[in-house]
Amino acid sequence: MAPYALLTELSEKLYIIKGGCGAASVVKMVNQLLAGVHIASAAEAMAFGARLGLNTRTLFDVITSSRGTSW
Establish whether 28 is a catalytic residue: yes
Closest alpha carbon to 17 in 25, 9, 6, 5: 25
- Contact between 10 and 4 under an 8 Å Cβ cutoff? The reply is no
Question: Rounded distance, CA 31 to CA 71, Å?
Answer: 12
- Given the residues 4, 11, 26, 28, select the one marked as catalytic: 28
Instruction: Show which residues are catalytic.
Output: 28
